[in-house]
Amino acid sequence: MNIRDKLYSSFPKALKSDVEKVLQILPETKPGFFDLAGKSHELDISINDSKIAILLNNESLIIPYRINILEPDINKENQLTEIQRTILCCIYLRHSNGFIRQKRLEQLLNKSDYFIIPFTFELLGEYLIEILEVLDKHITGENIYLYQRFIRDNPEYWWVTKCRIVSYWNQYYRFQFPKIKDYIGKSVVDRIEVAKTQPVHNKKH
């Protein structure tokens, strides 16, 4: 399976034509390097072999763990439709560069499409506190029921995510936040846990 096929499998089949438009503007290279002679070398785009299998509206999807690819030309990006720009941001939420992940998450703050959730949800189980702070803003009373629905369909993934949060707190933030309840990752999880015990809103996305 090539890289573009892997990205197709990250989104519902109903979005295939929009995903195709997005893939057409993705650069063919990823950030390169300079050798000792000062010569620039570009590298082919790549996706980490690790993957995240999830269920979304009874459809099995595979989310890449990490991608390495340059961001597209801004002029080409501006020509995309709103839904296509959302898809693009989701793809870059899996980027190996944390600053890019944070920037793209900030562009999704007011978005509530259900297909976004697997990408934002994976960020919950990561360790960069700056991204968790943005994610805390993204999860609101208007869309928390989407997370509620997602974890009901993916209970094992939810359990693994909660374990990761505790592990990262213990490894990176225990001295900064001696009480885990004060760590933002745990705070977000607690909000979702409360929502999980409440009836699912009858909304369609």
Question: What's residue 34's pLDDT?
Answer: 43
In the chain, where are the structural domains located? 3-196
Relative orientation angle of helices 144-153 and 184-196, to the nearest 10 degrees? 80
- Amino acid symbol at 164: R
Query: How far apart are the C-alpha atoms of 64 and 91, rounded to whole Å?
Result: 9
| Predicted local confidence at residue 35, as pLDDT | 42
CA dihedral 159, 165, 166, 171 (to 10 degrees): 140
pLDDT at 28: 75
Buried b (16+ CB within 10 A) or exposed e, 142-156: ebbbbbbbbbeebee
**pLDDT at residue 49, rounded to an integer:** 54
Give just the sign of the alpha carbon dihedral 18, 47, 138, 154.
positive
* Contact of 161 with 153, CB cutoff 8 Å: no
In sequence order, what are the beta bridge partners of 52? 63
Please report, in tens digits, the pLDDT of each residue of the chain (205 residues total).
467 778 999 999 999 999 999 999 998 755 554 445 545 444 444 455 567 899 999 999 999 888 888 899 999 999 999 999 999 999 999 998 999 999 999 999 999 899 999 999 999 999 999 999 999 999 998 899 999 999 999 999 999 999 999 999 999 999 999 999 999 999 999 999 887 666 655 454 5
* pLDDT at position 103: 97
Q: What is the pLDDT of residue 44?
A: 46
